[in-house]
Amino acid sequence: MYQTFYRDQTQFYVAVDCIIFGFSEGRLSLLLLKRNMEPAKGQWSLPGGFIEAQESAEVAAARVLSTLTGLDEVYMDQLMLFSKIDRDPGERVLSVAFYALINVADSNREQVRLHNAYWRDLDDLPALIFDHPEMVHSALKRLRIEASTKPIGFNLLPERFTVPQLQALYEAIYGISIDKRNFRKKLQSMPFLVKLDEKDKTSSKRGAYLYSFDKERYEKAKLEGIHFAL
Amino acid sequence: MYQTFYRDQTQFYVAVDCIIFGFSEGRLSLLLLKRNMEPAKGQWSLPGGFIEAQESAEVAAARVLSTLTGLDEVYMDQLMLFSKIDRDPGERVLSVAFYALINVADSNREQVRLHNAYWRDLDDLPALIFDHPEMVHSALKRLRIEASTKPIGFNLLPERFTVPQLQALYEAIYGISIDKRNFRKKLQSMPFLVKLDEKDKTSSKRGAYLYSFDKERYEKAKLEGIHFAL
């Protein structure tokens, strides 16, 4: 009886697609594949593939990303399941989208190129297959909400960073230019941003004070109702 | 060749589960079913069911919720796909969770009772099957983030409401008591909350000023970088 209950139901192919945003020199890019097999050979797509029998979606996403781009140990968050009837013209396939924001380092630039994968500027994306444009749009929206309510960006900066560096990161994520004075004012209300006694003098003679993000103070501030909000 | 490519892959049963939070008299509750069929007969679960061949997950969720609880026209957001290997001990089933926050009105109280569904206080939930506790926990976390960054709560209040009413709603969503003075201070920084010239005198002799949420001003404020943040 238990068996019958399930056996009447439809089964679906379920894929994963990975939306990997890269940060480098004040700009965001997106990791894309030029497909070398059918369907849609020669077209651009997100790195994606099917979930296998013994995998969770999370495990499948890590395997697919590693296999297709060479990138290991990328911490991805799940975005959502995309399941419109005609999203894949070849066959009914559901797809779980995952996303991450990482630094584009020289090391992963070489790594991905060996796999026929490319970092493409977010402002100049090629046409993508299926509903991949919708996935990218949704992921970017989610990333912006995350960045505005949690300190997710600090992982991408050096341990000691300047305010202009932090502002450049947020301008890249939001895709807008931010008023300098308002930005500094907001930072001043966050007790977990610690102004150090040192200056970075690489980009100007006067130099810019270095800051660090204090995780312990952040956790304490949260309990007191002081939130990260940029 | 196109066909072969897909046919090698594993197919999965995919279900939907609905996490419907109800707001009533300053408290949150959760809509649950007492299962009257196998598997897990007699146990408590979220309203859920399988996606059918010609449905998207969103369409399936609306159908399942309506069939199992009688609730129509509930706007649900997708939470995420739950896909751990052993999440359902009977068979490998993936499940997409959806969530919503609605008012518990007398009308839907009667409606759901006819369907063997129950509003259970969120602070006093019965044991739930499978990974449903994890789903509820994740949905509540998402709901709190949404409520703190978007004006989602105003739909649950009368068109003209008092600050204590708004505060009670947010205390229910966050599950904590909020400092009255800080709360009022935050509200004052939001130009889209309009103080009216009338008072509500039902709960105190002195009365409490009525407010309304101005959607147009809200959209304008957003463009100017003034955000909703409670």
Output the pLDDT for position A53. Answer: 95
- Report cis status (omega within 30 of 0) of the bond before A47: no
Of A93 and A189, the one with more pLDDT = A93
Please tell me if residue A13 touches chain B, with a CB cutoff of 8 Å: yes
Dihedrals phi, psi of B99, to nearest 5 degrees: -145, 155
Output the pLDDT for position A37. Answer: 76
Distance from CA of B12 to the nearest CA of A (A): 5
| Cβ contact B55:B47 at 8 Å | no
B28 vs B20: CA distance, rounded Å: 10
The reply to whether residue A225 touches residue B148, judged by beta carbons under 8 angstroms, is: no
Beta bridge partners of A24: A27
Alpha helices in chain A (DSSP H): 2-7, 57-69, 106-113, 132-149, 163-174, 180-188, 215-223
Contacts of B13 in chain A (CB under 8 A): 6, 9-12
User: Which residues 69-98 of chain B have a CB within 8 Å of chain A?
Assistant: 78-81, 83-85, 90-94, 96
Alpha helices in A97-131 (DSSP H): 106-113
- Find which of A194-203, A220-229, B51-60 is predicted with most confidence, using mean pLDDT: B51-60
Of B146 and B133, the one with more pLDDT = B133
Interhelix angle B163-174/B132-149, rounded to 10 degrees, is 140
What Å distances lie between residue B38 and B17, B34, B35, B92, CA to CA?
Answer: 16, 11, 8, 16
Q: Is the pLDDT of residue A2 over 70?
A: no
Dihedrals phi, psi of A149, to nearest 5 degrees: -125, -10
The reply to whether residue A56 touches residue B80, judged by beta carbons under 8 angstroms, is: no
Output the pLDDT for position A1. Answer: 38
Average pLDDT for A63-82: 96
* pLDDT confidence band for A4 (50 / 70 / 90): low
User: How many residue contacts between A and B have a Cβ separation below 8 Å?
Assistant: 108
Encoded tokens for B185: 């201070």
Span A193-211, pLDDT tens digits: 999 999 998 888 889 999 9
Encoded tokens for B157: 């209040």
Output the pLDDT for position B3. Answer: 52
- Nearest residue on chain B to A176, judged by CA atoms? B225
Encoded tokens for A132: 């991949």
User: Which residues 163-182 of chain B have a CB within 8 Å of chain A?
Assistant: 179, 182
- For an interface test with B, which of A4, A81, A146 has the most B Cβ atoms less than 10 Å from its Cβ? A81
Output the pLDDT for position B129. Answer: 94
Q: What is the ipTM for the molecules in this complex?
A: 0.91
* pLDDT confidence band for B39 (50 / 70 / 90): confident
Percent of chain A with pLDDT over 90: 73
- For an interface test with B, which of A63, A83, A94, A129 has the most B Cβ atoms less than 10 Å from its Cβ? A83
Contacts of B179 in chain A (CB under 8 A): 225
* pLDDT confidence band for B50 (50 / 70 / 90): very high
Q: Is the pLDDT of residue B187 over 50?
A: yes
| Cβ contact A138:A186 at 8 Å | no
Contacts of A148 in chain B (CB under 8 A): 149, 227
- Nearest residue on chain A to B85, judged by CA atoms? A56
* pLDDT confidence band for B1 (50 / 70 / 90): very low
Q: What does the angle CA B86 – CA B88 – CA B90 come to, to the nearest 5 degrees?
A: 105
Output the pLDDT for position A59. Answer: 98
The model's pTM: 0.92
Span A135-189, pLDDT tens digits: 999 999 999 989 988 899 898 999 999 999 999 999 999 999 999 998 999 899 8
Helices (H) and strands (E) counted in chain B, each on its own, are: 7, 10
The reply to whether residue B5 touches residue A149, judged by beta carbons under 8 angstroms, is: no
CA A38 to chain centre: 27
- Domains of chain B, first to last: 10-147 (3.90.79.10), 157-223 (1.10.10.10)
Q: Is the pLDDT of residue A38 over 80?
A: no
The reply to whether residue B56 touches residue A84, judged by beta carbons under 8 angstroms, is: yes
The reply to whether residue B9 touches residue A13, judged by beta carbons under 8 angstroms, is: yes
Contacts of A51 in chain B (CB under 8 A): 10, 12, 83
Encoded tokens for B13: 């049963």
The reply to whether residue B83 touches residue A57, judged by beta carbons under 8 angstroms, is: yes
Residue among B10, B56, B225 whose CB faces A53 most closely: B10
Name the amino acid, one letter, at A183.
F
